[in-house]
């Protein structure tokens, strides 16, 4: 699934294929995949519950924020931020390290712990980043419209 997503992204950029639907569905599919992996690995006690809850809470807060934005301001134009892209990459790398650590503990167990800590921090930072960006954008649009 990850390889097809990389190929899809490459082809879309190379051929300048962009659509609103694609800008919503692609990150949603990524999140569904990652959340499914986090839940599966957590149910096997391979990753801590607090980290799984942090990742899921961040995603739910983003969906909630987008819903509020849509209700009060209008249709949002979702744009992934750098920290969000970094967070998604870290989540995937973390999952890979956790799986590899089941076969070869050293060095993957240590790498998974370090990467998991970074996932925790970047999940919080990227969630806050989105809320700040959308709040500023919403204020500007509301101010401009005179509401």
> What confidence score (pLDDT) does residue 144 get?
87
Q: Residue 5: pLDDT band by 50, 70, 90 thresholds?
A: low
Top pLDDT among 92 and 26 is at 92
| Full-model pTM | 0.84
Q: Residue 93: pLDDT band by 50, 70, 90 thresholds?
A: very high
Give the C-alpha separation, 7 to 11, whole Å: 6
Give residue-wise pLDDT tens across range 31-68: 899 999 999 999 999 999 999 999 999 999 999 999 99
Listed residue (78, 81, 100, 77) closest to 89, CA to CA: 81
Range scoring the smallest mean pLDDT among 31-35, 99-103, 142-146: 142-146
How many C-alpha atoms does 105 have within 13 Å on its Cβ side?
1
DSSP letter string over 58-112? HHHHHHHHHHHHHHHT--------HHHHHHHHHHHHHHHHHHHHTT-HHHHHHHH
* C-alpha distance across the termini of the chain, in Å: 44
> What confidence score (pLDDT) does residue 62 get?
92
- Span 127-142, mean pLDDT? 92
Q: Specify whether the CB–CB gap between 90 and 35 falls below 8 A.
A: no
SS3 137: helix
> What confidence score (pLDDT) does residue 105 get?
87
Q: Specify whether the CB–CB gap between 37 and 2 falls below 8 A.
A: no
Percentage of residues of the chain with pLDDT beyond 90: 66
> What confidence score (pLDDT) does residue 2 get?
61
SS3 147: coil
Give the C-alpha separation, 139 to 102, whole Å: 48
> What confidence score (pLDDT) does residue 46 get?
98
Q: Residue 17: CB partners within 8 Å, gap ≥ 6?
A: 11
């Amino acid at each position: 699934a990850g390889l097809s997503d990389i190929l899809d992204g490459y082809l879309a950029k190379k051929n300048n294929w962009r659509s609103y639907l694609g800008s919503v569905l692609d990150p949603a599919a990524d999140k569904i995949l990652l959340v499914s992996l986090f839940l599966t690995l957590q149910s096997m006690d391979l990753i801590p519950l607090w980290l799984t809850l942090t990742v899921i809470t961040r995603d739910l807060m983003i969906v909630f924020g987008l819903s509020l934005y849509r209700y009060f301001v209008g249709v949002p134009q979702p744009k992934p931020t750098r920290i969000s892209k970094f967070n998604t990459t870290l989540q995937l790398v973390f999952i890979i390290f956790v799986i590899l650590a089941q076969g070869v503990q050293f060095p993957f167990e240590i790498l998974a712990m370090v990467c998991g800590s970074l996932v925790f921090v970047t999940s919080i930072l990227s969630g806050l980043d989105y809320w700040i960006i959308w709040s500023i954008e919403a204020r500007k649009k509301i101010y401009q419209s005179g509401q």
